[in-house]
Structure 1
Amino acid sequence: MAIEWKGVFPAVTTKFNEKDELDLPLFEKNLTAQLSAGVAGIIIGGSLGESSTVSVEELSKLVESGLKVAAGKVPIIVNIATGSTKEAVTLAGNIKTWGAQGIMLLPPMRYKSTDNETVQFFRTVAESTDLPILLYNNPVDYKTEITLDMFEQLQDIPNIQAVKESTRDVSNVIRMRNHFGERFAILCGVDTLTFEELSSGADGLVAGLVCAFPRETVAIYKFIKNNQHDKALAIYRWFMPLLEFDITPQLVQYIKLAEVYTDLGSEIVRAPRLQLSGTQRTEAIQIIETALRNRPLTLVEEGLAL
């Protein structure tokens, strides 16, 4: 399946039960809600999916489950985040074997690779597979930036097709466009910059709070792409206190808590993560409950109908 890198791509959470096992029925319930809202693809095993604590066997089950729910309607994209080129190549092969349609690829983990090492890592993985690849550019959290010069060295590789733009620099969307035109699709990777980067010409977004609020997220995207920025902004302003959950170290816990309140998930996280507690949890619930009381349902329905 060719991937059109446009629209909303949820980086879905991984659901666990009280026995610390995968909760596939709950996982599939959330995916069904995403598809119903009109997302363009599903990303499995990202940072929000607690990839560092999910085994390869569990990842294969999540992909199998995702493919079943997606039923060919949208692509399933699987994240690779590893410190070893050899492991990354092996995972790329597994992802292809499992039947997923794309890869999201981070720079090497744990070791801060040089620019040359990072480019070679991406090149080696990309040349080992024919699956479309979305590079993840997040120097804030992962300390390695994919610079314009590095993209220049990678543009001859046809299956490196898109970037998840998480540098936190909104103007980087313009820099990428000025330098490469349409060579790389650009997906906003930071929830709190959704309006700004889509308005600057980003093709779509890899979103986090979409896990709990798929319809609102898709509505923002549709309004902006239909040049109805005032309506997108009205939803975005309502959404902002929730979107700020995405830029905290405990984003998984916050977003899973929000999923509970929209009946799309549970609070259960995998250790070493712990569920929110005390004032932190109380304040998060207040933000969620306030948002739910003021949910712009009519405007969202108008956006989804576009």
Structure 2
Amino acid sequence: MATPTKPRGVFCAALTPVHDDLSPNHAAFTKHCQALLNDGLTGIALLGTTGEANSFSTAERQGLLEAALKAGIAPEKLLPGTGVTALTETVALTRHALSVGVTNVVMLPPFYYKNVTDEGLFASYAEVAERVGDSRLGIVLYHIPQFSTVPIPHDVIERLMTRYPGTFVGIKDSAGDIKNMLAMVERFPDFSVLAGADPLMLPLLQQGGAGAITATTNLVGADLAFVYKHFNDPSRKDQVEAAQARVVAGRNRASTYAQMASLKALVAERHGDQGWLNMRPPLVKLTEEERAALLAS
């Protein structure tokens, strides 16, 4: 079985295709994951915000992870999201990942209750670690307060790393604040700080960051992978800057309208599969007018 490592590189926050009846489309999902790996990405971060994870049941999430493995994707290439509001379901999803050989997971804080104290947040993550009780487990914290409204303070990170050495291996920071990321790089040198916003990966790497988990890699993964591979090579400076410019342009294009619906519209074009337009409510696809304007941009 794979063993947990501190994740480094470029991981795609993969979209999740659904059939017309809104059930997960395993065949389209695994085809897309394989295309992303062919783009040169380090791995796939499935079932996160971009993957509409919180619209899927525990069984559906487990089925998607198993489908990726059945399609031949190596366990060490996968970073499934396992954090949900219910403690016992977070434990179940995390145990399931370990049971199929996937040792690193991305974990949201419990996000229904607001104004959660540092003690409550620490207790929640600690309880998961205790109940799973597996030395193979590597947890990547997921800091996205604009969605979760539960930020992950640095003091909580330090307590978790001290109490469970080797278990809390990194963080995906999707708040868009480069200063927060750089502060973590400085305070926690043995911790993978991964940018959740494509344009911030390069400045983060230049200061010792570990890479990125981003949505736009569904479209521009090859460029972001190139930036990661060559960011520290002076002879490739112009090529890195050109690739970075394409990454930023791709992100801006996908943000013209609702981001996830826009990404699905663009991925539908990439794969020639209009089924990718489907979204599970409450999210909705772009209007025909919006999609035409996006594709023409």
Distance 1:106 1:245 in 2: 27
Distance 2:255 2:141 in 1: 19
Q: Partner residue of 1:258?
A: 266
- Contact 1:195–1:233 (8 Å) recurs in 2: no
Aligned sequence identity (%): 24
| Paired AA for residue 197 in structure 1 | L
Within-5 A mapping of 1:200-239: 200-227=207-234, 228-239=236-247
1:114 counterpart (107, 117, 121): 117
Q: Does 1:150 align with 2:156?
A: yes
Report deviation, 1:247.
6.2
Q: Partner of 1:122: helix, strand, or coil?
A: helix
Within-5 A mapping of 1:12-31: 12-31=14-33
Could you state the TM-score of these two structures normalised by the residue count of structure 1?
0.85
| Paired AA for residue 146 in structure 1 | I
1:152-195 Cα offsets, whole Å, 9 max, x none, are: 211121211011022321122321122122x2111111123232
Distance 2:75 2:128 in 1: 27
Distance 1:48 1:79 in 2: 11
Report deviation, 1:273.
1.3
Q: Does 1:273 align with 2:283?
A: yes
- Contact 1:212–1:264 (8 Å) recurs in 2: no
1:251-301 Cα offsets, whole Å, 9 max, x none, are: 2211111212222762111122111115543432233xxxxxxxxxxxxxx
Q: 1:36 to 1:217 in 2, by over 3 A?
A: same
1:92-122 Cα offsets, whole Å, 9 max, x none, are: 2222234323211011121122221111111
Q: Partner residue of 2:138?
A: 132
Q: Partner residue of 1:197?
A: 204
- Contact 2:75–2:102 (8 Å) recurs in 1: no
Q: Partner residue of 1:303?
A: none
Distance 2:93 2:212 in 1: 24
Distance 2:200 2:254 in 1: 11
Distance 2:88 2:230 in 1: 43
* Number of equivalent positions: 286
- Contact 2:220–2:247 (8 Å) recurs in 1: no
Distance 1:34 1:150 in 2: 34
Distance 1:54 1:223 in 2: 37
Distance 2:151 2:256 in 1: 20
- Contact 1:190–1:246 (8 Å) recurs in 2: no
Q: C-alpha root-mean-square deviation of aligned residues, in Å? A: 2.2
Q: Partner residue of 1:97?
A: 99
| Paired AA for residue 8 in structure 2 | K
Report deviation, 1:150.
1.4
Q: Partner of 1:79: helix, strand, or coil?
A: coil
Could you state the TM-score of these two structures normalised by the residue count of structure 2?
0.87
Structure 1 gap ranges (5+): 288-306
Q: Does 1:185 align with 2:189?
A: no
Q: 1:261 to 1:89 in 2, by over 3 A?
A: same
Q: Does 1:241 align with 2:249?
A: yes
Report deviation, 1:206.
0.3
Write out the 4+ residue segments of structure 1 that deviate beyond 6 Å after TM superposition. Answer: 246-249
1:284 counterpart (281, 290, 294): 294
Q: 1:239 to 1:29 in 2, by over 3 A?
A: same
Distance 1:221 1:155 in 2: 26
